[in-house]
Amino acid sequence: MAAPTSGAWKIMIRNLLWTANRDVLKDYFTKFGRVRDARVIFDKDTGLSRKFGFVELTSKDVYDNVLSQNSHFIEGQEVEVIPSQVIAKSKSSKFEIDANTDHSTLGKE
């Protein structure tokens, strides 16, 4: 899968445990190289984790290192790492997935 051309080396992380936070994501992905930013998405009404987040990496090499690993476990939980080019934000603020990529496990938690 081709890397993003804009220099935004961002990945989406799905299936996080409720306890995962920014520091947990940053600590995990630092083992692959430098992390520019990490964030977990929380529900604005309940304050609870929505069980996904984003990590912005500093270079194509770090991005490729992360994606070259077949599986990732954060806090003992297997998580799904989705390359940024398959994530597009729609006008309704929901995520749409590239139809050319197999995402048969998305939404199955």
Q: Tell me, what's the pLDDT at 97?
A: 42
Indicate if the pLDDT at residue 100 is higher than 90.
Answer: no
**Residues 3, 69 contacting (CB under 8 angstroms):** no
Indicate if the pLDDT at residue 67 is higher than 60.
Answer: yes
Q: Is the dihedral of CA 107, 55, 81, 93 positive or negative?
A: positive
42-64 CB burial, b ≥16 within 10 A, e <16: eeeeeeebebbbbbbbeeeebbe
Q: Tell me, what's the pLDDT at 103?
A: 44
CA 53 to chain centroid, in Å, comes to 5
